[in-house]
Amino acid sequence: MKMNKKVLALLSTGHAITDITQGAIPMMLTFLQPAFVLSQLQVGIVMLAFNLSSSVIQPIFGIFSDRFRAAWLVPLGCLLAGLGMAFTGYSPNYMILLIAALVSGLGVAAYHPEGSKFARFASGSRKASGMALFSVGGNIGFAAGPVLASFLFGLAGLRGSIGFLGLNGAMALLLWIYLSNIMGTQPGISGSAPGNREQSSARTGNLNIGKVIVPVILLVLVVTMRSWVHFGMVTFLPQYFVHYLQRSEVYAATLTSVFLFAGAFGTIVGGPAADRWGFKNVIIGSTAMLLPLLFLFVRIGGIWTTVIVALAGFLIVSTFAVTVVFGQELLPNNVGLASGLMLGFAVGMGGVGTTLLGWVADQWGLPAAFQVMIIFPVIGLLLALFLPGQKELARNQESRTIN
């Protein structure tokens, strides 16, 4: 089956517009904090509300996606993400701001499992490459979010947040118009049909549950460790250069952008690499190469700092699409659930690692946070060694077919 690049491009663009809100909300809170006279705790609660609704509950949307025909979640999710973000600038009080953040997060959570499911269908036989095209949209959107928020604020102050509704509304309309094309990529035997669900349940029941559940748990933990590093870099890299090394905010923001956009490029490379060399090999290779970069980060300076930041961003995010497809291969009868676990729950758990690193920074300083950070990929690398390889995945798929 050939890759449907038009549908993938549409879904990837929708992914970018939806995930712009994820990158924009920290910057919007920077503008909202003085306007509402918010404490750091209140800012943290808004971010927690957004992360809970956008990431941690994604598996619930994934289960819904597996059980019902829910392609309409693709345009609806994109619209809700922008609607909630638009209302942040119009919130009359803190409670409404919290609700707006929750609504925006729900839109993000709704888009990902269904969008990634149809991206898988549109990928044909090159699943990791197709998922890379879908994922890079989200990476670019996340990186562009702060820039767009600053631009809209510069145009109209807090009221400029209405621009998110215009952008996301237009994208949602486009996704709705072409929804039949998106749905047309689904194989003839629908995974949401009642008879097929019964067959899926029967096949799953005949499998050794250890061959499914244990690898899924391992993969979730590997993605969690990766997320701890990713969120740790995004959160503390600017603080390290501004507050510890006394560099300018522009320099710190530029380095953060280099990190994020290098990650988007890594996504494009990681998918095809996994199609060629296997999911497990790419995960192990990228994680192993990340270790010396984190070790050197606080020990060298100059132009090499930019090189290390770029390479680290490339390697960390290069496995983003790979782990999503890996999860879908492990749970082929529950693609939505697998997508929700990898795109939502495991990634959303990055906030836990950020909290831990923040405590380390408070106790021993910002350099210590980066030194402790190296522990996470070490754990991820050790766990990845126990993931099934391509041959084992193929044998498991054959057993499903026979059963």
Q: Report the predicted TM-score, pTM, of the whole model to 2 decimal places.
A: 0.78
pLDDT of residue 192: 38
DSSP for 328-376? HHHSTT-HHHHHIIIIIIHHHTHHHHHHHHHHHHHHH-HHHHHHHHTHH
Helix (H/G/I), strand (E/B), else coil: 388: coil
- CATH 3.40.50.2300: does it fit domain 193-403? no
Residue 234 has a pLDDT of 82
Intervals of the chain under pLDDT 50: 189-207, 402
State both tokens at 258.
Answer: 């280099």
Rounded to whole angstroms, the Cα distance separating 222 from 224 reads 5
Other CB atoms within 10 A of residue 225 CB? 25
* 190, 60 contact by CB (below 8 A): no
d(CA 231, CA 223): 12
- What Å distances lie between residue 220 and 131, 300, 304, 344, CA to CA? 18, 33, 32, 10
Say what the pLDDT of residue 396 is. 62
Q: Please answer whether residues 310 and 237 qualify as being in contact, where contact means their C-beta atoms are separated by less than 8 angstroms.
A: no
Q: Tell me the per-residue pLDDT of 352-391, one tens digit each, with 9 for 90 and over.
A: 787 788 888 888 988 998 999 999 999 999 999 999 987 7
Residue 198: the pLDDT is 36
pLDDT score recorded for residue 195: 35
pLDDT score recorded for residue 200: 42
Look at domain 1-192 and name its CATH class. mainly alpha
Q: What's the pLDDT score for residue 210? A: 60
Q: How wide is the angle at C-alpha 23 spanned by C-alphas 356 and 149, nearest 5°?
A: 130
**Chain center to CA of 362:** 27
CA 11, 14, 18, 23 dihedral sign is: positive
Nearest by Cα to 135 from 40, 13, 259, 21 = 13
Give the per-residue pLDDT at 204. 41
Q: Indicate the domain borders of the chain.
A: 1-192, 193-403
If you search the block for the tokens 């707006």, which residue do you land on? Answer: 100
Query: In terms of Cα–Cα distance, which of 367, 348, 347 is closest to 357?
Result: 367
What lies within 8 Å, CB to CB, of 41 at 6+ separation is none
Same fold, 1-192 and 193-403: yes
> Residue 122: its pLDDT value, please?
92
Amino acid occupying residue 293 = L
